[in-house]
Chain A
């Protein structure tokens, strides 16, 4: 076994070996090593997520650089108040997920469940705001791609801009894929709340909560960049 080949296992590690925590898999030396490996794996996954979104950010940068005036005008038709509200909602959900991890590290399971459910509620609120934003656009023929046919007082001027469809294609794809991430996060956070309710987590083992927290913060970070780039400038 790995612990036997290690030159000098510390007392702590020996104690843990006797202790044999249920969550500790045999190919790991210690709980700490298992936790660190899981976390590093999550960071590697998050980098692939960052690169997924960066492809779309590059598309945004290229088309904005080619058509700065059109992008500024098209961005003016997005609802800044809704965008700002959603930013605050997502930042708050990031705080609640951080507080859920804070609670489970201290074995406060009940509190952890409340914070997870709070995060779930905020994420749902984000999607509701997003739904109303999308519907307001669709009503005026502002669709992604070839269906782009803006009409109505607030949107008419977009019809004459050759690059306006590109802005809205980028807008819908970026916020759409971000929204898919929010929905996936909601499902995972719901499962976590259920697991916590069944007593699966404690300060000894809360790896899924920690990793989901990392994922959720990344979703938040993507929105931190999307909000000013799409809505404000």
Chain B
């Protein structure tokens, strides 16, 4: 198209887009002072996404361009979303996937506590059977000789 004269985005559109970008910048600063709770990040990202879309469509000419450029950019953007989502699916839910039994974590902990209490209730000397139950002796079952030394 170069010799036909290239496609020119009218100056008025460029100025309007610029005006919209400034207004949206003011808006994103403004909503930062409003307590939005869990919506804070989505709202900020939404406004930034809108601004980026305006820049891409008009300043970067994608609205009027060969569609293959838009396709390239869209595919790249999809990969960014995949990158963020899949990573957060791991990092945001770490520790929750280890428990695959029907019991809840609290039930397992309560059971372990009860087992510990039963263990504590038994006098520690009453159940010595194996040599390993005598932690201070490292030479097996020769108790008499050890006591003598």
Residues of A within 8 A of B (CB): 12, 16, 19, 21, 31-32, 35-36, 39-40, 43-44, 46-47, 50-51, 54-55, 57-58, 61-62, 65-66, 80, 84, 87-88, 91-92, 94-95, 97-99, 102, 105-106, 203-206, 213-214, 217-218, 220-221, 224-225, 227-229, 232-233
Contacts and interface: CB of A to CB of B under 8 A. Distances in A.
Interface string B34-75: 000000110011011001100110111000011011001101
Given A91-B21, A95-B18, A99-B11, A205 B29 contact: no
Main secondary structure of the interface of A (DSSP, over half): helix
Contacts of B76: 46-47, 50-51
A98 B59 contact: yes
A229 to B, nearest CB: 7
B95 to A, nearest CB: 12
B112 interface: no
Contacts of A225: 45, 48, 52
B87 A43 contact: no
Given A58-B83, A91-B25, A228-B48, A233 B32 contact: yes
Contacts of B87: 58, 61-62
Contact of A105 (B3, B8, B40): B8
A16 B84 contact: no
A233 B25 contact: no
Contacts of A80: 29, 32
B14 A43 contact: no
| Residue from B3, B32, B75 with most neighbouring chain A CB atoms (10 Å) | B3
A40 B45 CA distance: 27
Interface in B1-43: 1-6, 8-9, 11, 14-15, 18, 21-22, 25, 28-29, 32, 40-41
Given A65-B88, A205-B2, A229-B44, A43 B72 contact: yes
Contact of A58 (B45, B75, B84): B84
Contact of A214 (B9, B29, B60, B92): B60
Nearest to A19: B3
A77 B83 CA distance: 29
A47 B83 contact: no
A65 B14 contact: no
A47 B65 CA distance: 17
Contacts of A39: 65-66, 69
B41 A233 contact: yes
B91 interface: yes
B2 A232 contact: no
Contact of B91 (A57, A65, A106, A224): A65
Given A80-B32, A221-B51, 4 more contacts: A51-B80, A88-B25, A221-B55, A225-B45
